[in-house]
Chains A and B, each alone.
Chain A
Amino acid sequence: MTATTERAVGQPIGRIEGPDKVRGAARYAAEFQVGDDLAYAWVVQSPVARGTLRTVVVDPLVEPDDVLAVLWHGNAPRLGPADDPELAVLQSDRISYRGQAVALVVARTLEAARRAAASLQLEIDEEPHDCLLRVDHPSAYEPEKVNPGFPASSALGDVDAALAGAPVTVDVTYSTPALHNSPMEPHATTALWVNDDLVLYDSNQHPPGVAAAVGALFDLPADRVHVITEHVGGGFGSKGTARPNAVLAAMAAKVTGRPVRLALPRQALFSMVGHRTPTIQRVRLGASADGRLTAIDHKAWGQSSRLFEFAEQTAVTTRHMYAAPNRRTGHRLVRLDMPTPRWMRAPGEAPGMVALECAMDELAVALEIDPIELRVRNEPAVEPESGVPFSSRHYLECLRRGAERFGWHDRDSRPRQRREGDWWIGTGVAGATYPAMVQPSTARASRLPSGDYEVSIAATDLGTGARTILTQIAADALEVPVAQVRVRIGDSTLPMASVAGGSSGSASWGWAVTGACRALRSSSASSATFDSSELVAQQEKDGKHAFGAHFAEVRVDAVTGEVRVTRLFGMYAAGRILNPRTARSQFRGGMIMGMGMALHEESVLDPAMGAWVNHDFAEYHIPAHADLESVEAEWLDEQDDQLNPMGSKGIGEIGIVGSPAAILNAVWHATGVRIRDLPARLDKILPYL
């Protein structure tokens, strides 16, 4: 690479759209002005968890002058077959969960829509429902595959014999609650039909995917659905594919012949757009007296809806984390009268690594070995299950360097030793990992008459800095200053991009952008297009992961059981860091979400009602600023030329993997109390203080 190439990538450039966002000039899906006959839609949600909707009584219609349509399965237009049954909205009389969309009111004003919606009478034949996940659930079964296509189980050696013969064992069950992605910007769509084509201003993580999915429902090819996703206020996975709001808005626009806006209220996000499945996980570890793992057994229970099987890969990380001659992982699923789970930041890895990394801490205690040393002794030479060498793995370096930076060395390993006033103080560590994935994408680079360049790709920026990083990558590939590059994203009509998910966006889009820019530079054409599909297909998929180590210091109030995190520190090895400023924000954001998972976040289920009852931000607690005393991220300079032209690994999710375990391990170290049922609320700790 030339000197010029180094200039933009690696620089802490601020987000390009930052000033627009601060000034309120950035437009989100529910803010686009689309003519003066815009109508508003309001969703009517099922008040029961299971049953049959016999009819919707509209008479007498409230706000008759303003209501344009009341849609339900009895009168809604028929949709084409949906891959995702959650998108088959208003097509059937079956009620599969409480909060499911059962009717839609479209009106001239939002207020009228809302008021009419509240007045509708739903005649429902209610049936007994079943909403509680438990390990002894009679209908628990083993799915064929877990996301995104892994075998549901794996087995190596003789785990039972190894456990029976191990001098030291740990057998623990950890559970994590349902969690909700809770992006700042609720899911929203403004839909209009232009001639027979559909235009959607939609908040999502994948405009081409939304175009294809919604198009199929309305019998349109993807190129006749134009999805515009200029800015997205977060998604955390819940906007990875089209959600019911896009379909409902499109349907309403079709029926009324007007543009229609549908912005889901916060409460609806707790049922209609997905969540992280609750998990129950049993981990058994066997080790020799000198701390070498002889067996790892990880079995995870999760849930899905009646509508379809969404099987989260909770135990899959355990397949490549530590060396052990005997290993077994497995998954069980229970289908309940609940909404379908969906991806949420590090789906699988985040809850799975809670169980594995807390169990490792418990094993270190049982062995009387420092938890970092235990991990050192079980470092694999190659990726354990595949046998493929790691393209790069600097896990131990992260642990060691992190330990130095955090100040781990003089730690007294015994619990409940440090007390300052009313506070018990302790520290904990846990590993982090996330696969370095890449997906096919296409980009186009063009020369503009002004001498500047335009780079186009149907990617999205969820607030992460994707637009900025692509600009940096393009500038380097074109060997021009950043100021000469305009990046266009957020539009399904641009060249095909992969989803902003799986921490794969920058790697996948950056590859296509690099290819297009290099092709343009080496030709005199006015534009060049590059499709990475072939190169991506040729790549070895196994053995590619980012790694990291999380360290936490907590204090626990001996009077109240309140936990505060005094320090949270992450050390990562994630390939080349493209922009230290946006990267730090991703790492720290993940860690903060990890803190929420450890201490605050929890969707509280009332099984009798079939509902998560704390469905707003006053009651669903995410960490507040006052909870963040010190959250720092650093990284190693990692070179890995087997990844992509930039040498980068994804960084969007690794921050939430392992950070909850580090905090829980620190809570134990502070108090001697093991919390195995997340979150570590004060009422669970208080009885033991």
Chain B
Amino acid sequence: MKTFTYRTADDVSGGLEPGATFLAGGTNLVDLMKLGVATPDVLVDVTRLGLDQIGDLPGGGLRIGAGVRNSDLAADHRVRRDYPVLSQALLAGASGQLRNMATTAGNLLQRTRCRYFMDATMPCNKHAPGSGCPAREGDHRNLAILGASPSCVATHPSDMAVALAALDAEVRISGPAGERTVPVTELHRLPGDAPERDTVLEHGELITAVDLPPLDLAARSAYRKVRDRASYAFAVGSVAAALQVTDGTVRDVRLAFGAVAHKPWRAHRAEEALRGRPATRESFRAAADAELAAAEPLRDNAFKVTLIRNLVGSVLEGLS
């Protein structure tokens, strides 16, 4: 482990030191430092910025502080009532101890679990740009089927982010150049030829909050995660969905997929294909197919296409 300096920031501007790496719950960053994959020089602890509140937004909706712990967010009564998909996604992730430490921003910015990325002795375009992508020919059972590139087929591992993507959440960012807001669906990049960059954040930019807009249909929403053991495992596929049906017809729908791409995958095509259609298993599956038509599975992960299609059908049926 490389020597580094550590300090705490007491206000948002105090955190914005060039070259600094933010430390929140540390459940991902510290692991990566121990593995020699992350080698920051300066760590700025951002857990004392007072960003740990969940507030009501004036026009409805919630502002979730970047430092709110995953366990607190999952337990919040407004979240459970108005956005159950988010609470379910959080509770499906990691373990009780980890959720007590993990924060909203840290969870969004956690890095891929690609096994080559997590091993500093391996080539990997993400941790050592230009060194190659052994996952493509090697172990990729749990990697991307959508939006990947020749240089990287990693997936974003977060459960929470999938729910946020379905909920049209917006990320509030504070940086040297001022403040800006980015839809959560545009926070993470596709790998393209620069897989070393996970997100659109510039150096020194700090996430301060995530805004959840009011969304009536979110009251009927659900998250379904599939994994290789009953708990304490990352998703091999997941679906976040919210559905509004009147008279047997889909009025409105939100759909996002997890563990299929370099980002939480908002399924716009599927949503479009569903609006105004009968709320039946056939249309749900057809909608899933509309989204998955673009899938380019690798040797060992084609099952994810079937898995996601089945999940979409099952979750939407459960909501209708």
Q: How far is the CA of A625 from the CA of B96 in the complex (A)?
A: 13
B115 an interface residue at 8 Å Cβ cutoff? yes
Q: How far is the CA of A318 from the CA of B264 in the complex (A)?
A: 50
Q: How far is the CA of A252 from the CA of B15 in the complex (A)?
A: 43
When distances are taken between beta carbons in the complex, the residues of chain B under 8 Å from A599 are 229
When distances are taken between beta carbons in the complex, the residues of chain B under 8 Å from A681 are 228
Chain A: CB-nearest residue to B123: A609
B207 an interface residue at 8 Å Cβ cutoff? no
Taking a contact as CB atoms closer than 8 A, the residue among A613, A616, A683 that contacts B139 in the complex is: A613
Most chain A beta-carbon neighbours within 10 Å: one of B3, B230, B231 = B230
When distances are taken between beta carbons in the complex, the residues of chain A under 8 Å from B134 are 606, 608-609
Chain A: CB-nearest residue to B31: A618
Of A457-465, A559-567, A636-644, the stretch lying at the interface with chain B is A559-567
The interface bits of chain A over 409-435 (1 if a CB of B lies within 8 angstroms of the residue's CB, else 0) are 000000000000010000000000000
Most chain A beta-carbon neighbours within 10 Å: one of B1, B138, B228, B311 = B228
A674 an interface residue at 8 Å Cβ cutoff? no
Cβ < 8 Å to A, chain B residues 29-77: 36
A613 with B116: CB separation less than 8 A: yes
| B228 smallest CB distance to A (angstroms) | 5
Q: How far is the CA of A606 from the CA of B36 in the complex (A)?
A: 21
Q: How far is the CA of A214 from the CA of B138 in the complex (A)?
A: 38
Of B100-108, B165-173, B302-310, the stretch lying at the interface with chain A is B302-310
B121 an interface residue at 8 Å Cβ cutoff? yes
B232 an interface residue at 8 Å Cβ cutoff? yes
Taking a contact as CB atoms closer than 8 A, the residue among B36, B119, B300 that contacts A613 in the complex is: B119
Given A560-B311, A621-B228, A627-B229, A682–B236 Cβ distance below 8 Å? yes
B138 with A564: CB separation less than 8 A: no
| A101 smallest CB distance to B (angstroms) | 14
Cβ < 8 Å to B, chain A residues 506-563: 559-562
Q: How far is the CA of A176 from the CA of B145 in the complex (A)?
A: 27
A58 an interface residue at 8 Å Cβ cutoff? no
| A131 smallest CB distance to B (angstroms) | 12
Most chain A beta-carbon neighbours within 10 Å: one of B137, B141, B234, B307 = B307
B218 an interface residue at 8 Å Cβ cutoff? no
Q: How far is the CA of A421 from the CA of B137 in the complex (A)?
A: 38
When distances are taken between beta carbons in the complex, the residues of chain A under 8 Å from B137 are 608
Chain A: CB-nearest residue to B231: A626
B283 an interface residue at 8 Å Cβ cutoff? no
Cβ < 8 Å to A, chain B residues 282-320: 300-301, 303, 306-307, 310-311, 313-314
A613 with B307: CB separation less than 8 A: no
A600 an interface residue at 8 Å Cβ cutoff? yes
Q: How far is the CA of A181 from the CA of B113 in the complex (A)?
A: 23
B215 an interface residue at 8 Å Cβ cutoff? no
Taking a contact as CB atoms closer than 8 A, the residue among A560, A613, A623, A627 that contacts B138 in the complex is: A613
When distances are taken between beta carbons in the complex, the residues of chain B under 8 Å from A118 are 2, 36, 120
When distances are taken between beta carbons in the complex, the residues of chain A under 8 Å from B121 are 45, 47
| B98 smallest CB distance to A (angstroms) | 10
The interface bits of chain A over 668-689 (1 if a CB of B lies within 8 angstroms of the residue's CB, else 0) are 0000000000000111001100
B138 with A606: CB separation less than 8 A: yes
A83 an interface residue at 8 Å Cβ cutoff? no
Given A564-B230, A618-B113, A627-B230, A687–B306 Cβ distance below 8 Å? yes
Q: How far is the CA of A681 from the CA of B137 in the complex (A)?
A: 20
Cβ < 8 Å to B, chain A residues 603-641: 604, 606, 608-609, 611, 613-616, 618-619, 621, 623-627
Bin the interface of chain A by size. 35 or more
When distances are taken between beta carbons in the complex, the residues of chain A under 8 Å from B274 are none
Given A111-B1, A606-B139, A609-B134, A422–B314 Cβ distance below 8 Å? yes
Q: How far is the CA of A683 from the CA of B307 in the complex (A)?
A: 8
Chain B: CB-nearest residue to A63: B3
When distances are taken between beta carbons in the complex, the residues of chain B under 8 Å from A615 are 119
B303 with A687: CB separation less than 8 A: yes
| B285 smallest CB distance to A (angstroms) | 11
Q: How far is the CA of A561 from the CA of B227 in the complex (A)?
A: 10
Cβ < 8 Å to A, chain B residues 130-151: 134, 137-139, 141
Q: How far is the CA of A564 from the CA of B255 in the complex (A)?
A: 27
B310 with A609: CB separation less than 8 A: no
Most chain B beta-carbon neighbours within 10 Å: one of A600, A611, A621 = A611
| A431 smallest CB distance to B (angstroms) | 26
Chain B: CB-nearest residue to A604: B139
| B240 smallest CB distance to A (angstroms) | 16
Q: How far is the CA of A618 from the CA of B112 in the complex (A)?
A: 13
Q: How far is the CA of A47 from the CA of B36 in the complex (A)?
A: 15
When distances are taken between beta carbons in the complex, the residues of chain B under 8 Å from A114 are 1
When distances are taken between beta carbons in the complex, the residues of chain A under 8 Å from B116 are 613
Given A559-B311, A686-B303, A115–B3 Cβ distance below 8 Å? yes
A559 with B36: CB separation less than 8 A: no
Q: How far is the CA of A611 from the CA of B122 in the complex (A)?
A: 10
When distances are taken between beta carbons in the complex, the residues of chain B under 8 Å from A45 are 121
What DSSP secondary structure best describes chain B's contact surface? loop
Chain B: CB-nearest residue to A619: B115
A624 with B232: CB separation less than 8 A: yes
B233 an interface residue at 8 Å Cβ cutoff? yes
Chain B: CB-nearest residue to A118: B36
Q: How far is the CA of A686 from the CA of B314 in the complex (A)?
A: 15
Chain B: CB-nearest residue to A112: B3
A559 with B231: CB separation less than 8 A: no
Most chain A beta-carbon neighbours within 10 Å: one of B116, B138, B231, B313 = B138
Q: How far is the CA of A47 from the CA of B128 in the complex (A)?
A: 15
Cβ < 8 Å to B, chain A residues 219-246: none
B1 with A682: CB separation less than 8 A: no
| A270 smallest CB distance to B (angstroms) | 11
B226 an interface residue at 8 Å Cβ cutoff? yes
Chain B: CB-nearest residue to A681: B228
Cβ < 8 Å to B, chain A residues 553-593: 559-562, 564
A624 with B115: CB separation less than 8 A: no
B229 with A623: CB separation less than 8 A: yes
The interface bits of chain B over 166-209 (1 if a CB of A lies within 8 angstroms of the residue's CB, else 0) are 00000000000000000000000000000000000000000000
When distances are taken between beta carbons in the complex, the residues of chain A under 8 Å from B119 are 267, 613, 615
When distances are taken between beta carbons in the complex, the residues of chain B under 8 Å from A564 are 230
Most chain A beta-carbon neighbours within 10 Å: one of B113, B119, B237 = B119
Q: How far is the CA of A621 from the CA of B138 in the complex (A)?
A: 19
When distances are taken between beta carbons in the complex, the residues of chain A under 8 Å from B228 are 600, 621, 681-682
When distances are taken between beta carbons in the complex, the residues of chain B under 8 Å from A560 are 226, 237, 307, 310-311
B139 with A559: CB separation less than 8 A: no
Cβ < 8 Å to A, chain B residues 211-257: 226-234, 236-237
| B181 smallest CB distance to A (angstroms) | 33
A613 with B311: CB separation less than 8 A: no
When distances are taken between beta carbons in the complex, the residues of chain A under 8 Å from B138 are 606, 608-609, 613
B1 with A686: CB separation less than 8 A: no
Given A606-B139, A624-B231, A683-B303, A559–B314 Cβ distance below 8 Å? yes
Q: How far is the CA of A687 from the CA of B305 in the complex (A)?
A: 11
Q: How far is the CA of A276 from the CA of B171 in the complex (A)?
A: 47
B231 with A625: CB separation less than 8 A: yes
- Sample of 20 further A-B pairs with CB below 8 A, known A613-B115, A621-B233: A115-B1, A118-B2, A118-B120, A267-B119, A559-B314, A562-B226, A604-B141, A608-B137, A609-B122, A611-B122, A613-B116, A613-B138, A615-B119, A621-B228, A621-B229, A624-B233, A683-B300, A683-B307, A686-B303, A686-B307
24 contacts between A and B (CB under 8 A): A45-B121, A118-B120, A559-B313, A560-B311, A599-B229, A606-B134, A606-B138, A606-B139, A613-B122, A613-B138, A619-B115, A619-B118, A621-B233, A624-B229, A624-B231, A625-B231, A627-B229, A627-B230, A682-B228, A682-B236, A683-B236, A683-B307, A686-B310, A687-B306
Top 8 A-B pairs, shortest CB-CB distance: A626-B230, A626-B231, A683-B303, A606-B138, A613-B115, A627-B230, A559-B314, A559-B310
Chain A positions within 8 Å of B, measured between CB atoms, are 45, 47, 111, 114-115, 118, 267, 422, 559-562, 564, 599-600, 604, 606, 608-609, 611, 613-616, 618-619, 621, 623-627, 681-683, 686-687
